[in-house]
Chains A and B, each alone.
Chain A
Amino acid sequence: MSATPVVDRQPDGGQTAARLATHGSAAVRFTASLALTLFGLVLVTFLIARVVPIDPVLVMVGDRASPETYEKARQALGLDRPLYEQFFLYLSKVVVGDLGQSIMTGDDVLSDTLRVFPATLELAVIGTLLGSCLGIPLGVLAAVRRGRIADHVVRILSLVGYSLPVFWLGLVLLLVFYAKLEWVAGPGRIDIAYQYTVPEVTGFVLLDALLAGDWGAFTNAISHLILPASILGYFSMAYIARMTRSLMIEQLSQEYVLAARAKGVPASAVVWRHAFANVRVPVLTVVTLTFAYLLEGAVLTETVFAWPGLGLYITQALFSADLNAVLGGTLIIGICFVLINRGADLLYRVFDPRTR
C-alpha cells in the first residue's frame, strides 16, 4: 500500500517538472522575444527620428534663443555626442524605466503616456467590442446568405467602412448627431461641469464616474464616448465582418458541413457549432489585430473629437520632433502589441484544443 502512492507520485512529479520546465522555457522565450522586439523597435524609431530634418533643439528653445541657450539645450539633449552613444545612453535609461523628459509637455514621458493611455484604451475597448459584436454576426450572416441581399448589404457596409476617410466620417457624424440632432454630447471625454467633480482614480472616465457613484457624470461620459467609439466600432466592424465572411465561406464549403446538413443537424447548429467553431481562432486573430491597431491608429478620431489619447500624443510629439515622447509612446504601443499577441496565444488554447 505504501509503495503505490510513491509509484503514483513519481510520474506525477515528472509531469509537473516537465510542465514547469515547459512553462519556464516558454516564459524565457516570451521574455527574450519581448526584449528583442522592443530593442528593434527602439533602434528603428530612434534612427527614423534622427533622420527627420527637424532640429529638436529648435523645438525646445524656439527660434529666437541666444546661441548660448541653444548650445546648452543641445548638450542637455545629448545631441553633441555621437549617434551610437546617444542610442546606448537612451537604452540604458529605458532599461531602468526612465523614458526621459518630453520637450512638448516638460513632464517625464512615462507619466505622460500613463496619463493619456486610459483615454485611448477606453475608446479602443468600446470600439473593438462594438466592432466584434456587430462584425462577427454580420460576417457569418453574409457567408450563410452568400450572393443574396443580406450578403450584398454586409459587403457594401464593409466596403464603405473600409474606404471612408475616418476624419470625414467623424466630422459628418458630429454635424448630424451633435450639432443638428443634439443626441450626443460634443468633443472631449466629459463635460467641463463634471471634469472636476469626478475624482480621477483609474483615468478611465466611465470607471471613475461609477466609482464616484455619479450617474450624471457616467451618462455624460457615455454621451461623449458613443460617437468616437461608434466610428472606431464601425471601422473595426467592416474589417472583422469581411474577414469573418471569407473564413466562414471557406468552412461552409467543407465536406463536414455537407455531412452535418445531410444528417439533419439544424441550420443554426451547422453554422455556429460546426463551421464557426473552426474559424474562432483566425477570427480571434483578426479581433486582436483590430484592437492593437485601434490603440495607436485612432489618431484621426482623437483629433476630430479632441480626445486626449496616446495616438494624438505621439502624432503631436512627431510634429514637435519630441524624440523622447515619440520613442516612449512607440515603446508603450510595442509592449501592448506584444502583450496582446501573447494574450491571443493564450486564448487560442481555450478555443483550439490542438494548441494546448
Chain B
Amino acid sequence: MKRSLMRLCLSVMMMMCLAGIVARAETPEDTLIMAHAIDDVTSFDPAEVFEFVGGEISNNVYLRLVVRDENDFTKIAGGAAESWEVSDDGLTFTFKMRPDLVFASGNPVTAEDAAFSLQRVVKLAKSPAFILTQFGWSAENVDEHVRAVDEQTLQLQIEKPFAPTLVLNALSAGVGAVVEKAEVMSHEKDGDLGHGWLRSNSAGAGAFVIRDWRPNEVIVLEANDKYYLGKPTLNRIIVRHVPESTTERLMLEQGDVDIARQLGSAQLEAISSSSDLKIDIAEKSTILYLGLNQGMKELADPKVREAIRWLVDYDTIAEKLLKRQYRTHQAVLARGNFAASTDTPYGFDPEKAKSLLAEAGYPEGFKLELDVFAASPFQEIAEAIQSNFAQAGIQVSIVASDRRQTLTKYRARNHQAVLMVWSPDYGDPHSTIDFFVTNPDNSDASTTKTAAWRNKWFDPELKKIADAAILERDTAKREEMYAEIQRGLQTNSPIVVLFQQTEPTAMRKNVENWVSGPAFDTYVFRGITK
C-alpha cells in the first residue's frame, strides 16, 4: 500500500510540474485584454442594448448618426451624418450623410440605412425605444416621419418643436446607431427585422466588429480597417468575464490582462503603489440618491426631509468609504453634463437636524427601513448612514437584497427609504429631469414608474418648468430652467442626492489613451495603445 501511495503522490507531483513548466503565452502585442463582469450582456442589437457592457461595446461597433464629442462630451459632433439643419418651426431635422462612409463590409452607408435603423428601433419596441418614441414616432407612423429623401439626405419629422439639443442628444444614444440594412435584412426571420441575428453579430460602421461572443465568457472585437477615421491602433479587444474582483486583480498584476474594470476601493488602494500599474479616474453621470417614500407619514413632512439632508456625513463617507469611486454631489444632474448644478448646500449637522425633527414633532426620531443593494459599496454606505442618522434618533434598519429584488420593491413603492443609483439614458438633461419630476398618475395603478411616482410625490410647478424646458430653443434660458428644477428637487423633494460616481479603471502602465466618457455607452477603444 505504501508503494502505491508513493506512486500516486509522484504522479500528482509530475502533473503539477508538467503544468508548472508550461511557459504561459504572452499577451499578444496587438491585442488588448480586459477583465470585466460581462454577465449583463444579453444582446448587441442597438435597438435593444441598454445595459452597461452592451452599451460600451455598441459604441465601438456602430457609428451613430451623431455622436458625443470625445473632447467635450457635453457637445454633439457629426457621426454617420456630417451636418444637419433644423427647420424654423423646429419640427424638421435634415441630416446630410458623411460622403464616402462605408460599413465594415465595405458597402456605402446611405440615408436609407440610417432611416431603416431608426425605424427598426421604433418597430421592434425594445427597452430603449422610448428615447425615440418620445418624439411622437410609433410603429405605424415612423416610416412617414423618418425617411431618406435621397441617398445622402435623411429627414426626421417630430411631433413638437423640442429643443434641438434634446433631439440630437437622443440621437447620439445607442438607438442612433446606423446598421447596414441589406446585411441585417438578409438575416431576417419571421419579420424580426434581423433582430435574432443582430443580437450576437454586428453590421455597423464603427471602429470594431464583433468577432465572437460567448455569454458569461468572452467578447472579441476585431479592428475595422475601413473605419472612416482610420484603422484602430490595436487589432483586437478581448473582454474576458472575470466575476471575482480579487481574481481580476491577480490577473492584472500578473500581466494576463491589460485592464481590470471591477476592482473595489481596497484593491485599488493595494495596487496604487505598484510601479507596473496605474489607475485612471473618470467622472461619470451616475448619481447615488436616497428615495424617501411619501407614503410614510414621517417622511412626508418637509422638515423631516430637510433634517435627513443635514444628517449625512457626505465628505467623510466619500473620503473613507468611496475613495476613487464616488464624490459628494447633491444635484440630480451630474457634474460634467449640460446644466448640471455643482452646489452642495448641505453638510453634516446633527444638531440642526435634531431641531428640525423636533419642530416636525419627532424629537426622539423614528424607525426607518432603508433598502439597499447587497453589494459593495452600497451596504457600507448604508451602514454609515445608519450611524449618522442615529445621532438624531432615527433608527435605521438596513434591508440588503439582491439588486433586482430591491428594484422590484422600489418599483412597487413598497419601500420606506431606498439607496438607489441613477444613470441618464442619453446626454440631455431631460432624460434625468423627466425621471425625477414626471408623475402623471400618482395612483398605484399607474404604468409610469418614474422616481417621482415611486416615491409618491409630485410637484406641478416643477413639472411645468420641465415641460417648458424641453421646448426651449434658447440654450441659456434652458440652462436656467434646469437650474431652477434642480434647486427645487434639492430643497423640497423626496430625492436626496448624495454622491456622483467616478469610475476608477486599473490598467498596466503601458496602456494609453483609455477614454471612458461620462455615460455607460461613451467608451472609445479605437485610440488605445499598449
Contact = CB atoms under 8 A, between A and B. Distances in A.
B229 interface: no
B408 A58 contact: yes
Contact of B250 (A115, A178, A271): A178
A69 B403 CA distance: 21
B130 A66 contact: yes
A3 interface: no
Contacts of B20: 183-184, 223
Interface stretch (B185-193, B241-249, B353-361, B475-483): B241-249
Interface stretch (B78-86, B153-161, B210-218, B308-316): B210-218
A137 B5 contact: yes
B18 to A, nearest CB: 6
Given A66-B129, A306-B244, A306-B247, A134 B253 contact: no
A174 B199 CA distance: 35
Q: Is the interface of B mostly helix, strand, loop or mixed?
A: mixed
A188 B250 CA distance: 13
A191 B24 contact: yes
Interface string B223-242: 00000000000000010111
Given A187-B251, A188-B240, A306-B243, A69 B125 contact: yes
Interface residues of B, number: 64
B530 interface: no
Interface string A223-261: 100100000000000000000000000000000000000
A62 B127 contact: yes
A106 B240 contact: no
B214 A308 contact: yes
Nearest to B249: A179
A112 B215 contact: yes
A68 interface: yes
Interface centre among B42, B43, B130, B200 (most CB of A within 10 A): B42
Contact of A223 (B19, B39, B129, B407): B19
Given A185-B22, A219-B19, A305-B247, A192 B404 contact: no
Interface in A47-88: 52-55, 58-59, 61-72
A279 interface: no
B215 A107 contact: yes
Which secondary structure dominates chain A's binding surface?
helix
Contacts of B8: 133-134, 137
Contact of A62 (B15, B18, B51): B51
B179 to A, nearest CB: 17
5 contacts: A55-B407, A63-B411, A130-B12, A179-B254, A320-B404
Interface of B: 1, 4-5, 8, 12, 15-16, 18-20, 22, 24-28, 31, 33, 39, 42-43, 50-51, 125-130, 133, 199-200, 212, 214-218, 220, 238, 240-244, 246-247, 250-251, 253-254, 256, 402-405, 407-409, 411, 425, 435, 447-448
A-B pairs with lowest CB-CB distance, top 5: A67-B447, A193-B25, A105-B215, A183-B20, A223-B19
